[in-house]
Amino acid sequence: MPDFRIRQAAELLGVSDDTVRRWIDSGRLPSGLDGAGRRVVAGEALAAFAREQAQAQAGQRPRSERVVAESARNRFTGLVTRVVRDTVMAQVEIQAGPFRVVSLMSREAADDLGLHPGVLAVASVKSTNVVVEIPES
Protein backbone atom coordinates (compact mmCIF):
# COMPACT_ATOMS: atom_id res chain seq x y z
CA MET A 1 0.00 0.00 0.00
CA PRO A 2 1.49 3.39 -0.94
CA ASP A 3 2.15 6.10 1.62
CA PHE A 4 1.94 9.80 0.79
CA ARG A 5 3.99 12.58 2.33
CA ILE A 6 2.22 15.70 3.61
CA ARG A 7 2.91 17.72 0.44
CA GLN A 8 1.62 14.94 -1.82
CA ALA A 9 -1.51 14.48 0.29
CA ALA A 10 -2.15 18.23 0.19
CA GLU A 11 -1.83 18.35 -3.60
CA LEU A 12 -4.20 15.42 -4.02
CA LEU A 13 -6.76 16.96 -1.67
CA GLY A 14 -6.44 20.43 -3.19
CA VAL A 15 -5.43 22.11 0.10
CA SER A 16 -2.28 23.50 1.69
CA ASP A 17 0.36 21.48 3.51
CA ASP A 18 -0.62 23.30 6.72
CA THR A 19 -4.24 22.23 6.35
CA VAL A 20 -3.20 18.58 6.08
CA ARG A 21 -0.96 19.00 9.17
CA ARG A 22 -3.89 20.52 11.11
CA TRP A 23 -6.14 17.62 10.09
CA ILE A 24 -3.48 15.16 11.25
CA ASP A 25 -2.86 17.03 14.52
CA SER A 26 -6.60 17.15 15.26
CA GLY A 27 -7.00 13.44 14.57
CA ARG A 28 -9.22 13.89 11.51
CA LEU A 29 -6.64 12.30 9.20
CA PRO A 30 -4.59 9.35 10.48
CA SER A 31 -0.86 9.37 9.83
CA GLY A 32 2.30 7.47 10.63
CA LEU A 33 6.03 7.78 10.15
CA ASP A 34 8.10 6.49 7.26
CA GLY A 35 11.54 4.92 7.61
CA ALA A 36 13.16 8.38 7.76
CA GLY A 37 10.82 9.59 10.51
CA ARG A 38 8.71 11.81 8.24
CA ARG A 39 4.95 11.96 8.64
CA VAL A 40 3.04 10.07 5.97
CA VAL A 41 -0.57 9.16 5.29
CA ALA A 42 -1.45 5.66 4.12
CA GLY A 43 -3.01 5.66 0.66
CA GLU A 44 -6.11 3.81 1.79
CA ALA A 45 -6.71 6.26 4.66
CA LEU A 46 -6.14 9.22 2.33
CA ALA A 47 -8.61 7.79 -0.19
CA ALA A 48 -11.28 7.33 2.49
CA PHE A 49 -10.68 10.85 3.79
CA ALA A 50 -10.84 12.34 0.26
CA ARG A 51 -14.12 10.59 -0.35
CA GLU A 52 -15.60 11.84 2.95
CA GLN A 53 -14.45 15.40 2.22
CA ALA A 54 -15.95 15.34 -1.27
CA GLN A 55 -19.28 14.04 0.03
CA ALA A 56 -19.38 16.68 2.77
CA GLN A 57 -18.50 19.48 0.34
CA ALA A 58 -21.00 18.34 -2.29
CA GLY A 59 -23.87 19.35 -0.01
CA GLN A 60 -22.25 22.68 0.89
CA ARG A 61 -21.37 23.94 -2.58
CA PRO A 62 -24.41 24.52 -4.71
CA ARG A 63 -23.45 25.24 -8.31
CA SER A 64 -23.35 28.95 -8.87
CA GLU A 65 -25.37 30.33 -11.73
CA ARG A 66 -22.59 32.84 -12.31
CA VAL A 67 -19.66 30.82 -13.62
CA VAL A 68 -16.62 32.99 -14.32
CA ALA A 69 -15.03 30.55 -16.80
CA GLU A 70 -14.91 26.79 -17.00
CA SER A 71 -13.25 24.03 -18.95
CA ALA A 72 -11.89 20.83 -17.48
CA ARG A 73 -8.39 19.57 -18.21
CA ASN A 74 -8.03 16.22 -19.86
CA ARG A 75 -5.91 14.62 -17.15
CA PHE A 76 -7.03 14.28 -13.54
CA THR A 77 -4.46 13.01 -11.05
CA GLY A 78 -6.03 11.64 -7.91
CA LEU A 79 -6.57 8.75 -5.56
CA VAL A 80 -8.57 5.65 -6.30
CA THR A 81 -11.33 5.73 -3.69
CA ARG A 82 -13.43 2.75 -4.75
CA VAL A 83 -13.23 -0.25 -7.07
CA VAL A 84 -16.24 -2.48 -7.70
CA ARG A 85 -15.44 -5.64 -9.66
CA ASP A 86 -17.68 -8.31 -11.10
CA THR A 87 -16.65 -11.23 -13.28
CA VAL A 88 -16.14 -9.13 -16.42
CA MET A 89 -16.15 -5.39 -15.60
CA ALA A 90 -14.85 -2.99 -12.96
CA GLN A 91 -16.06 0.44 -11.89
CA VAL A 92 -13.20 2.63 -10.64
CA GLU A 93 -13.74 5.90 -8.79
CA ILE A 94 -10.95 8.48 -8.55
CA GLN A 95 -11.09 11.54 -6.31
CA ALA A 96 -9.00 14.24 -7.99
CA GLY A 97 -9.21 17.26 -5.70
CA PRO A 98 -12.87 18.30 -5.74
CA PHE A 99 -13.58 16.19 -8.83
CA ARG A 100 -14.91 12.63 -8.76
CA VAL A 101 -14.07 10.69 -11.93
CA VAL A 102 -15.68 7.31 -12.60
CA SER A 103 -14.31 4.87 -15.17
CA LEU A 104 -15.74 1.60 -16.43
CA MET A 105 -13.15 -0.88 -17.66
CA SER A 106 -12.60 -4.58 -17.93
CA ARG A 107 -11.87 -6.38 -14.69
CA GLU A 108 -8.69 -7.66 -16.31
CA ALA A 109 -7.49 -4.07 -16.90
CA ALA A 110 -8.27 -3.06 -13.30
CA ASP A 111 -6.44 -6.14 -12.01
CA ASP A 112 -3.45 -5.55 -14.31
CA LEU A 113 -3.19 -1.95 -13.10
CA GLY A 114 -3.45 -3.05 -9.47
CA LEU A 115 -6.30 -0.63 -8.83
CA HIS A 116 -7.62 -0.51 -5.28
CA PRO A 117 -8.44 2.31 -2.81
CA GLY A 118 -5.40 4.41 -2.01
CA VAL A 119 -3.56 3.94 -5.30
CA LEU A 120 -2.41 7.10 -7.10
CA ALA A 121 -3.85 7.18 -10.62
CA VAL A 122 -4.39 9.54 -13.55
CA ALA A 123 -7.75 9.65 -15.33
CA SER A 124 -7.26 10.74 -18.93
CA VAL A 125 -10.49 11.92 -20.51
CA LYS A 126 -11.21 12.04 -24.22
CA SER A 127 -14.66 13.00 -25.28
CA THR A 128 -16.44 14.08 -28.40
CA ASN A 129 -18.75 16.23 -26.27
CA VAL A 130 -17.17 18.86 -24.05
CA VAL A 131 -19.19 21.64 -22.50
CA VAL A 132 -17.50 25.02 -22.00
CA GLU A 133 -19.39 27.76 -20.18
CA ILE A 134 -18.83 31.51 -20.14
CA PRO A 135 -21.40 33.39 -18.04
CA GLU A 136 -22.78 36.81 -18.72
CA SER A 137 -20.60 39.59 -17.32
* Structural domain contains residue 26: yes
Contact 79, 43 (CB under 8 A): yes
pLDDT in tens, 12-55: 888 899 999 999 999 999 999 999 999 999 999 998 998 888 77
* Structural domain contains residue 130: no
Q: Are residues 11 and 48 in the same domain?
A: yes
Range of the domain at 79: 75-124
* Structural domain contains residue 132: no
Q: How many domains does the chain have?
A: 2
Is the pLDDT at 97 greater than 90? The verdict is no
Residue 83 sits in a domain whose CATH number is 2.40.50.100
* Structural domain contains residue 67: no
* Structural domain contains residue 23: yes
Q: Are residues 46 and 80 in the same domain?
A: no
With a CB cutoff of 8 Å and minimum separation 6, the contacts of 108 are: none
